[in-house]
Structure 1
Amino acid sequence: MPDSAHTLIAQPDYQRLIDAETWAFIHRTKAAYPPDTAALTIADQRRIYDTMCRAFHTGYPPGVAAHDESVAGVRCRRYLGHGPVVIYLHGGGFVVGGLDSHDDVCAEICAATGLEVLAVDYRLCPEHPHPAAFDDCLAVARATPGSILLVGDSAGGALAAAVAAALSDPRVMGQVLIYPGLGGRGASHRQHAHAPMLTAEDVAFYARIRGADPQDPTAAPLMASHFTGLPPTLALAAECDPLADDAAAYAAHITAAGGRAIALTDTGLVHGHLRARHTVARARASFARVTATLSAMAAGHWHPGDMP
């Protein structure tokens, strides 16, 4: 029998798992953001990422207005609406992205829910290693009056979960984590090590640049010693993603501690599918789940059992 630590895991058949719409999205993304981009300089990575995001930008829905401002000394963009305030923390491996990369995502959350959205332009690595991004996001959350909701995708999901734990505050009415990387090392890291859009090698590359202790719960929320006091949580995983198991592990910890949480896996979707919400039916349904959940959390009547 082979050593269990080295047991081979069957590689997924992505041609079967991923539908034609999603493959079209993958090819379009790779045309703008080639797989070898991580080997380039940080400045080039950011330039290419911003250009790619702009290619997918769909503009603001009618009636949405936004302006930039400083909150707790951190540059932010506020999309006007009513409370509670949705604090949005963008993805990008803690290295790329900013207010423009997720601008239309935030605008559409504002339009779909009517809620005010505050996007945070936290400091990036490697110029500002951990805990700079965490400190910025926590400072903005603390400086935002009244009730809040936390939302983050990918790296932003890790930041949202870490901020929720640091606050442990009933002002946080809920959090939605979209394909978050929470510091776990479940089977998905091996099973989907070579997934389209994000590989295990990519995950390791960005972790090295971040420079955080992998046992530090402010960097890896799954490493926390307890999960009490966390807000109602929806954790969404993409099936074809090395990070897929993190969402389920995190939700399980919260429920075991007596909290309300659920993890859902979006079948056949890949990391970064937020940008596919207008062209891929599965991604459109996932984004609709995000906005519906935020509306329910804001109204105070969300429950994991309500999820399809």
Structure 2
Amino acid sequence: MTDYKTLIDAETWAFIEQTNSYYPPDTIDYTIAQQREIYDRMCREFFAGYPEGVAVETSAIATTTHDIPIRIYRSASQAAATVLYFHGGGFILGGLDSHDDVCAELCGRTGHEVVSVDYRLAPEHLHPAAFDDAMGAFEWATTNREHPIVLCGDSAGGNLAAAVSHATRGHQRKPIGQVLIYPGLGGDRSRGSYVTHAEAPMLTVRDLEFYKKVRTGGVDRTGDITLSPLADGDFANLPPTVLITAECDPLSSDGEAYRARVAAAGGRAYWFEEAGLVHGYLRARHTVGRARASFTRIVDAVAALGTGEWVP
């Protein structure tokens, strides 16, 4: 059995306990509406404000069937890239407000324009609705932005960023990079971190099974690369990729597996596992030293990829 008392330091435990006070571990047993209310309240409690000099505009992308809400962040610096950001939340939680401060800080610290995408959520909108909205946001960016495009997302959002990367390899303006933060990529749940960290604080395998069932409506979608990018048989021609995972997270092995497959196909991928950190640690970036250092790694990766650099 994994000894989290040894792996996780006191600062991180304080963050876990604070999170659990807002969002108890048994929240997935509540209704979806209750889960969203609890999650939104937790995000408000952790909101850290905007950096100075970041301007924000809330807008929408019009499609033939619906509008996709977006929030655009710009800094005083001359942007070199447009970062499409897809938020986490298990495909059932979150939106423009849940990751508002994260996106603002990413913009302020990189100088790049950041566009946060409020994709449709399950169970009201089953897969592939979220993927379709992510693709819609990418197409919008290619026609409305001159800057090169970097894809970024955490957890469920990391899944969407990777799925868009796989789907747009033949696009005239394919992404120039992707940064995937503790992403769920559809890895083998019988091995690796799925076993070692099945009962990790903040996210368990039971949670993952619940989110997947809600996202798919219980339909078996084995082999669907828009749902599970690791199911793809071709990892060639993907953009330079940086994967940042948490050690104490059942999803950690997805980052390792994805890095290995991109590298085996001749691409550039870098995987960094954050020792002693847990899923969702972005909200701890101002209170936990390890999370603060990790967020700097994320910022540096986004900044570099946006200017066409590769800094592993």
TM-score normalized with structure 1 length? 0.93
Shift of 1:83: 3.4
Partner-residue secondary structure (3-state), 1:26: helix
**Cross-structure match for 2:70:** 76
**Cross-structure match for 1:230:** 238
Partner-residue secondary structure (3-state), 1:128: coil
Distance 2:100 2:80 in 1: 19
Tell whether the 8 Å contact from 2:16 to 2:201 is kept in structure 1 after alignment: yes
Counterpart amino acid of residue 152 in structure 2: V
1:204 to 201, 209, 221: 209
Counterpart amino acid of residue 243 in structure 1: L
Task: Kindly report which structure 2 residues correspond to 1:175-194, keeping only aligned pairs within 5 A, or say none.
Answer: 175-185=178-188, 186-194=191-199
Distance 2:41 2:205 in 1: 24
Is 2:156 the counterpart of 1:162?
no
Tell whether the 8 Å contact from 1:183 to 1:214 is kept in structure 2 after alignment: no
Q: Which moved more, 1:66-75 or 1:227-236?
A: 66-75
Tell whether the 8 Å contact from 1:260 to 1:303 is kept in structure 2 after alignment: no
**Cross-structure match for 1:218:** 226
**Cross-structure match for 1:65:** 55
Counterpart amino acid of residue 180 in structure 2: L
Tell whether the 8 Å contact from 2:89 to 2:155 is kept in structure 1 after alignment: yes
Partner-residue secondary structure (3-state), 1:301: coil
**Cross-structure match for 1:278:** 286
TM-score normalized with structure 2 length? 0.92
Structure 1 residue runs of 4+, over 4 Å off? none
Is 2:25 the counterpart of 1:35?
yes
Distance 2:310 2:214 in 1: 37
Tell me the alpha carbon deviations over residues 66-91 of structure 1, each in whole angstroms, 9 at most, x when there is no partner: 11111243110000142310000000
What is the CA RMSD across the aligned residues, in angstroms?
A: 1.0
**Cross-structure match for 1:7:** none
Tell me the alpha carbon deviations over residues 206-240 of structure 1, each in whole angstroms, 9 at most, x when there is no partner: 01001161321100000001011110000111000
1:89 to 86, 89, 105: 86
Counterpart amino acid of residue 164 in structure 2: V
**Cross-structure match for 1:299:** 307
Percent identity over paired residues? 55
Q: Tell me, which stretches of 5 or more residues in structure 2 are unaligned?
A: none
Number of positions where the alignment pairs a residue of Structure 1 with one of Structure 2: 294
1:173 to 176, 187, 190: 176
2:252 to 244, 255, 268: 244
Partner-residue secondary structure (3-state), 1:152: strand
**Cross-structure match for 1:134:** 131
Tell whether the 8 Å contact from 2:301 to 2:311 is kept in structure 1 after alignment: no
Tell whether the 8 Å contact from 2:163 to 2:226 is kept in structure 1 after alignment: yes
Distance 1:36 1:13 in 2: 21
